Each structure stands twice: as structure tokens, then as C-alpha cells.
Chain A
Amino acid sequence: MWLYLLKRLALAIAIIAIAVTLLFLMIRAVPGDPAAILLGPRATPEMKAQLHHQMGLDKPLVVQITTFFGGLLRGDLGFDVFGQKPVADIVFEQLPYTIELVLFSIFWAVVVAVPLGCYSAMRRNSLVDQVVGVVAVATLAIPSFVMAVYALLFFAVTLRWLPAIGAGDGFWDGLVHLILPGFAIGIGWVGYISRLVRASMLEVLGENHIRMARAFGISEWRIVARYAMPLAILPTVTILGVGIAWLLSSAVFIEVVFARPGIGALIVNAVTARNYPVVMGAVLVTTILIVAATTLSDLINAFLDPRTREKL
């Protein structure tokens, strides 16, 4: 286990290092001078030279990369010349909004999907099971931004039940502002998780210790909740780690649709303004988040299922 842990961590660090280098080279490989783009067409050569110096563009590429890695280790993501602020400050100001949205979405999805999946497994091929199956595939297929726009149109514009934009102030207001965005992100996950729980529950229900419990005359609901659930829920736990990339991608659209602050909205705005340092910093932080989450889910997996340890 310890060897696996070390190997897996080394792989994660290698992936992050390569990802950073790739991103860095991509930004440098762009045709055109970033400083010239930032300053616009009327910039004088002196202004460009000064900005070059400020951004460190006048140094050799190797020095630039080493400086960037060095900064990264200290939590320094560079400096936003537009906003006159460190990029890290900007990114970490926005990050909590996105995390709050993602956690809320996944929380309600799990709360709804797990009982639904259990029920589908217990009443296999019943009407409910079949309907849930079709709806699950459908909600998974529909892009979250279409879902978000329709939810906004129906509940905020037409019915005026819920606020359309922003993140709200304070706990309750914030919670109310989370409902529609959370719905748009979570609905696909309800389908996905309920199918996952159903499949693993069916597998677990066929095992010997469950048949034993049944032979003792324990009620079906108690068997599911007490003996089968802890086993059947494992695939869901591990899939959430991998799913964070998907969640963050949906968050980009949802934040734009609902005009919420967050890392997605930050990236879209930075891309529109061609503010490369901010784009780079925000993409980096999300990449690190994703690598950390997948590594963690692999480790949990390896802890629970020793067979996966040999596969690295």
C-alpha cells in the first residue's frame, strides 16, 4: 500500500508538472506578442518594453519556466497587469463560490439519487425503474447550460419564484440563489448516480451474506439500508473524484447563465479580455484540483480494493 501511495503521488506530481509546462509553452507559442495584445494597437515600443520587463517576457524561456515553477511552489501564480493584483488573490477570491455551487449540486443529487437507485434495484424492471432509467439517460445527455437557461426562463422569468442572477448575501439568501444553478448542475448527476447505485446494489443483493440475512427473515428495506448500502455506495464515492472535472466544466456555463461569481465566470471573462496571466492561473488551479481529486479517488479505491494496487 505504501509503495502504491508513493507511486501514485509521484504520478500526480509528474502530471501536474507536465500540464504546467504544456500550458506555459502554449501561451508562449501564440503568434503575436502578449504585451502588444494587452496594450492595444497604439502602444509605443517603450511601453511594450516596459510591460515585457514587468511580465518577465524579456528573459530566456528556461528562466521564465523556472521562475514560474518557483512561484507556483510558493503559491504565487503571477501578476495580473490589468487588475494590478496577484493572480492568486483573484483566483482564490472566486474559488469559494464555485466550490459552494459544486458541493451543493452534488449534495442534493446524492440525497435524491441514492434512495432512487436502491428502489430501482429492489423493484427491478418495475414501471418506476424503467421510467427512472430513461429519465436518467435523458438528463445526462442534455447539456447543463440548456437545462440552466430553461430553468431560468421557467422559474425566474415566467413564474418569478426564484432569483435569476447573482450569489446573494448571507446564508439564506445565498441558499435561495443556489437552488436554480444547483438544479441545473445536479439533475444529470441524479440520473448518473441512481443508475450507478442500482447496478452495484443489484450486484450486492445477489451475494451470500444478503441471502443469509434474508433467510433470517430480516425485512427487505432493512437489508438494503443496513447490509447492502455500505457496499453498494462505494462506486459512487470513487466516481465523485473523477467527476469533479465534469462538475467544474458545468460550473463554467452555470456561472455565466446565472451571472454568479466563480472560477468559471472568471475564466470566461479573462478569455474574453485576453488576460493571459489570469486564464493561466485559473486553469492551473482547476487542473491541480482535478488531479488531486482523481488521485484521492484512486487511493480510496486502492485502499478498498487491493487488486487495483498492482496495476500501476
Chain B
Amino acid sequence: MASVETTRPETNVAIGPGLQQFRKNRLGMLGAALVTLITAIAIFAPLMIMHDPVRIMVGPRLADPSLHYLLGTDQLGRDTFSRIIMGSRIPLLVAFVSLGSSLAVGLVLGLIAGFGPRWLDNLLVLFFDTIRSFPGIIFALAMVALLGPSLASVILVIAITSMPIYARVVRTQTEALRSSEYVAAERSMGAGTTRILAVHVLPNVIGPLLILVSMDVPAVIAVEAGLSFLGMGVRPPTPDWGAILNDGFNYIDKAPWLVIAGGIPIVLATLGFTFLGEALREIFDPKLRKDL
């Protein structure tokens, strides 16, 4: 838990050469392609489905895949293909909302900890470390038990548990910048704290932070799908990959394709975002994770 402070005054990321490097990274390109595909599916989902994804008995129960039902049907006779397509929306929504709010809160708390008085810094770091000591999914389950299973609980839990890492990175970087010479120079010219934070600290902090967030997307997708798999996430009949996997799991000996169809999108989404995030990190900030 003791953080390794490294002094990294400036990470002026050059976008042009970075992009060229990215094109050479085959896994990164594969990841980008997968992410684009999944995002496109999520956006255009209503145009792609063949049946109403929540309507019961559009076909026979647990039907085999056929031209009419591309991936067969589930135990309630719902079309699995349509449910998979529509199910792409929940994980992306959860990732976007939870990581977005976590980023905002983490940024503010990190700046306060890094630039504020010493006692406040200590207090905040203790708070971050406490939240980090809660066991991820187990803490999420406890929260869901209290708040009741719903999409909002899932988003809240993910936002709370991912915040401390962002805050700590911001804090470490802010502290390094705070004692740098050009900030001292700026201050001697009469710049206020707000100006220093907004003009000098923020631009240096936001890049690495965004890469960190992009690397957390696959984990969020996994947690969301996992909670839905346990029946603690989205409520039925909302289509969701984790929920489909759970439906399939209950009929694993009768209708194995349901489980196969439910798992593959989760695998593709986590792989796509991981490859993309890894490539971004390698190119723009190779030693980012060591700051944690």
C-alpha cells in the first residue's frame, strides 16, 4: 500500500507519432476494431435485432440455432441473438457512467490531497486505502444486498471502488508537480492555486488518468456481467450478457449453445478493451502502473 513516488514532471504526449506507433501494434489494432464493432452494435442495436428481445415465446423454448433464430431461444422462448445484440448496451452504459463519475470524483479528491494541507492529505489517503482494502466483488455483493439488486447499485459500487486508484495517481502526480521549479516560478509571479491547478497540474494529470480509465473498462465489464450472472445486477427481463450466461448455465446440459452465446460477447468485449488499453499504455505511458 505504500506508494512509490516517482517524479515525473511532464508527460507531454505527442499524438502524431503515437498514432503511427499504434498502427504497428497489431493487438492494439485488433482491440480497436473489436471496441468499434461492439460500440457500433450497441448504438445501432434496435436496427439489428430480428425479434423483440424481451418478448416471451416468440419461438419454442430452448430451440436450436436456425435461420429464424440465429442463436436459438432461451428457456422462455426469447430470441437469444436479439438479446445478445441489445445486451451490448448495458455494459457500455455501466462502464461509461461509473468510470466517468469515478474519474471526476477521483480527480477532485486527488488534487485536494496533493495540493492541500498535510493533515487533509493523510486523512484522504487513509480513506482511499480503506476503500481499496475492501474485497472488490465481495464488497459489491454487500452493497447490492443493502441497496437491492439494480443497475444503479452496480454503477454506484463500481464508481466507489475504482475511485481511490485514480485519486492516488492524481495525488502522486500533483505532489510531484507541486514541488517542481516551474510551479514555484509561477507562484512567485503571483499565480493563485486555482490557476496552478487548472493550467499546470490538470493537463499533466489528465492524460495518464484517461489511460488508466481505459484499462479499467474490461474489469468493469467483467464485474457488471459477473453481478448479473449472480442475479445481482440488471433486473429481468432486461437483456444483458451476464444474465444470458446465467440462463444458459441453468440449462447447460440441455442447451449448451445458450451458455456459449452468452459468454462469447463478454470474452470479446473484455479482450477488445484490454488489447486497446494495453496498446495505449505501452505507447503513451509505459510505466504508469508502477505509480500505484
Task: Tell me whether B186 is interfacial, beta carbon within 8 Å.
Answer: no
A26 touches B146 (CB 8 A): yes
Known: A248-B135, A252-B141, A286-B138. A141 touches B218 (CB 8 A): yes
Tell me the complex Cα distance, A272–B149, Å: 10
If over half of A's interface residues share one DSSP class (helix, strand or loop), that class is named, otherwise mixed; here it is: helix
B142 touches A253 (CB 8 A): no
Known: A19-B130, A290-B135. A270 touches B253 (CB 8 A): no
Task: Tell me whether B129 is interfacial, beta carbon within 8 Å.
Answer: yes
Q: Return A183 CB to nearest CB of chain B, in Å.
A: 16
Q: How many A-B residue pairs have CB under 8 A?
A: 143
User: Which A-chain residue is minimally distant from B269 (CB atoms)?
Assistant: A141
User: Which B-chain residue is minimally distant from A29 (CB atoms)?
Assistant: B146
Task: Tell me whether B81 is interfacial, beta carbon within 8 Å.
Answer: no
Known: A15-B130, A138-B271. A271 touches B225 (CB 8 A): no
Interface core residue of A137, A141, A291 (most chain B CB under 10 Å): A141
Tell me the complex Cα distance, A142–B221, Å: 10
Task: Tell me whether B4 is interfacial, beta carbon within 8 Å.
Answer: yes
Contact bitstring B125-148, A, C-beta under 8 A = 1, else 0 = 011011001111111011111110
Interface core residue of B3, B225, B229, B248 (most chain A CB under 10 Å): B229
Task: Tell me whether A308 is interfacial, beta carbon within 8 Å.
Answer: yes
A134 touches B27 (CB 8 A): yes
Q: Which of A38-46, A74-82, A150-158, A221-229 contacts B (4 or more CB under 8 A)?
A: A150-158
Query: Which among B144, B146, B231, B256 is the interface contact of A157 at CB below 8 angstroms?
Result: B256
Task: Tell me whether B124 is interfacial, beta carbon within 8 Å.
Answer: no
B226 touches A142 (CB 8 A): no
Known: A142-B270, A153-B259, A157-B252. A271 touches B142 (CB 8 A): yes
Complex interface residues of chain B between 213 and 239 (CB less than 8 A to chain A): 218, 222, 225-226, 229-232
A15 touches B126 (CB 8 A): yes
Query: Which among B143, B146, B252 is the interface contact of A152 at CB below 8 angstroms?
Result: B252
B267 touches A311 (CB 8 A): no
Task: Tell me whether B14 is interfacial, beta carbon within 8 Å.
Answer: no
Q: Return A272 CB to nearest CB of chain B, in Å.
A: 8
Q: Return A98 CB to nearest CB of chain B, in Å.
A: 11
Known: A15-B129, A153-B252. A245 touches B2 (CB 8 A): no
Complex interface residues of chain B between 77 and 102 (CB less than 8 A to chain A): none
Task: Tell me whether B115 is interfacial, beta carbon within 8 Å.
Answer: no
Task: Tell me whether A215 is interfacial, beta carbon within 8 Å.
Answer: no
A19 touches B133 (CB 8 A): yes
User: Which A-chain residue is minimally distant from B253 (CB atoms)?
Assistant: A157
B1 touches A287 (CB 8 A): no
Task: Tell me whether B245 is interfacial, beta carbon within 8 Å.
Answer: yes
Q: Return B253 CB to nearest CB of chain A, in Å.
A: 6
B204: chain A residues within 8 A (beta carbon): none
Given contacts A141-B270, A141-B273, A152-B252, 9 further A-B contacts (CB under 8 A): A16-B133, A149-B248, A245-B133, A253-B229, A253-B230, A256-B230, A290-B134, A301-B2, A308-B4
7 A-B pairs closest in CB distance: A141-B274, A143-B222, A249-B137, A271-B145, A146-B263, A141-B270, A249-B136
